[in-house]
Amino acid sequence: MFWRCRQRTIDLRRPVVMGILNVTPDSFSDGGRFATPGAALDRAAGMVAEGAAIVDVGGESTRPGAQPVDATREIERVVPVIERIAAACDVAVSIDTSKPEVMTAAVEAGACIVNDVRALRAPGARAYAAASGVGVCLMHMQGEPRTMQDEPRYSDVVAEVSAFLVAERRHCIDAGIAAEAIVLDPGIGFGKRLEHNLCLLRELPGLAALGAPLLVGVSRKNFIGRVLGRDLGACLYGGLGLASLAVAFGARVVRTHDVAPTLDAIRMVDVVMRGTNE
């Protein structure tokens, strides 16, 4: 199982970690910490040293209640960071955006993956992804970041998320994006209540069988704190438990703020599941 991302091919026969690098002032857990190119490069290099296969750079917060950022400002935030990472680190760089203009600038700067919470539904996004040969991650989100947690409702969350991901994958393939370039993300925490998140996590084996590798992001999600009765900063172990569960249930990419402990956890699960450390 491989993920084709322009000049790179990422081996997913064993699960890999995508490290989160927010270069925004308002992201929910690390806003402002890596807003300068120098700080961002140091953080990226640290994640690579810890074993990240992918560094996911985001210039617009998608936390609940987040305000939109225009493409020009987003490009100003991400391009200097991506250029530095691409020049200094041997790692796949992903751009976390929904805007085709930002995708274009980021890929020209050295990114090889587009991670889109809106599943490439913006006009021109699929065409650009097809023409550029990037790897893509298609995520499910009900609503928009600013309002997505106001009143999320589903008749059958697993069926609806599955149908959305299958349909968007087909739309992408029809637009010329290679099947081997696509991974799918159920969007844990994006327009979902606690019960929706728990249901999706419980049914990950079915989501992992939809025809494309599965990416799961549970790092520092608010619902972990609600379940455990802890502040957001004290939810690492709960997140590691969910990351391990996700890999046991078939996820091939785990997106996280905490690369080293997450990689240790999922490697142990992978060895047990495969029955060998080879």
- Active site (catalytic) residues: 221, 255
First to last CA, the chain: 17
- Contact present, 203 and 216 (Cβ < 8 Å): no
User: Which burial class, exposed, middle or buried, applies to 274 when counting CB atoms under 10 A from its CB (0-12, 13-18, 19+)?
Assistant: exposed
- Contact present, 204 and 216 (Cβ < 8 Å): yes
Mutual angle of helices 157-174 and 194-202, in 10-degree steps:
70
Joined together, the tokens standing for residue 152 give 């999320």
Which residue's entry shows tokens 């809106």? 118
Would you mind telling me the total number of residues written for the chain in this entry? 278
Q: Which of 86, 94, 97, 28 is nearest to 60 (CA)?
A: 97
- Contact present, 260 and 51 (Cβ < 8 Å): yes
User: Which burial class, exposed, middle or buried, applies to 153 when counting CB atoms under 10 A from its CB (0-12, 13-18, 19+)?
Assistant: exposed
User: Which burial class, exposed, middle or buried, applies to 1 when counting CB atoms under 10 A from its CB (0-12, 13-18, 19+)?
Assistant: exposed
Task: Return phi, psi of residue 175, to 5°.
Answer: -85, -5
